[in-house]
Amino acid sequence: MKPLLNLSKRTDFIIGMAFAALTTLFLILFFTSDAFFNWAFERHHNLLSWYIRPIWILPIAFFAFKRSWTGVMASIFCLFTSMFWFPAPDTVSPKVVEFLNFEMEYLKGSWDFSKIFVQMAVPLFFAGLIYTAWHRSVKSLIGVIVAAAVLKVLWGAIFAGEAGLSMIKPAASGLVICVAAVVYFKRKKKTA
């Protein structure tokens, strides 16, 4: 299959790996610079970032379906960085503040085996998402999307208590949009 972006397979892979490197650099900066970490989280208080992040699942899946490493890795980069695309809001729900304070402490706190084990869900999610879309397994793709949304909400509820439930609406809306888009795309491909 010819890559979506009209790039040779080699060029597509190289650009994709450049975006993977940018994502890695972003994560290193995020975890090593308190100033950047705090700046990003100030903007992450804007609920638009909560609602847009799950939507980035769609281009990741789409580009994996089209077998474009550039599209997949650029979309992952956008998903991670979208936490700070919007300005810090003037007012924030106390539950959102409580949850994000928990999340900041969780990410900056000590890392033991249990935390590393839980955080391995993130790369496993991306691997499952890319693998199922790359191999055009629509049912498995939907399963990965549903599992990710459910596990994200469970993680928030278990570790942050009632404040963690503040992510239900963004997670549920992202889940509905993503599943509806995958189902629509599947039906459209059948009729084409």
Q: Alpha helix (H) ranges present in the chain?
A: 9-32, 34-44, 47-55, 57-65, 69-81, 94-108, 113-119, 121-134, 138-160, 168-191
Tally of domains in the chain: 1
Residue 3 within any structural domain of the chain: no
Residue 140 within any structural domain of the chain: yes
Judged against a pLDDT cut of 60, whether residue 3 lies above it is answered with no
**DSSP structural state of residue 86:** S
The pLDDT tens digits for 93-128 are 999 999 999 999 999 988 888 888 888 989 999 999
Task: Using a pLDDT cut of 70, give the percent of the chain over it.
Answer: 97
Residue 85 within any structural domain of the chain: yes
CB-CB neighbours of 67 under 10 Å: 17
Residue 35 within any structural domain of the chain: yes
Residue 72: domain span: 9-191
Orientation of helix 57-65 relative to helix 69-81, angle to 10°: 170
Whole-number Å distance between alpha carbons of 152 and 166: 11
Three-state SS at 21: helix
Residues 42/88, Cβ–Cβ less than 8 Å: yes
Residue 178 within any structural domain of the chain: yes
Q: Which structure tokens are listed for 129?
A: 């998402």
Residue 2 within any structural domain of the chain: no
Q: Average of pLDDT values for 12-38?
A: 96
- CA nearest to 3, candidates 61, 65, 53, 48: 65
Classify burial at 44, counting beta carbons within 10 Å of its beta carbon; exposed 0-12, middle 13-18, buried 19 or more. Answer: buried
Residue 125 within any structural domain of the chain: yes
Residue 166 within any structural domain of the chain: yes
The pLDDT tens digits for 28-85 are 999 999 999 999 999 999 999 999 999 999 999 999 999 999 999 999 999 999 999 9
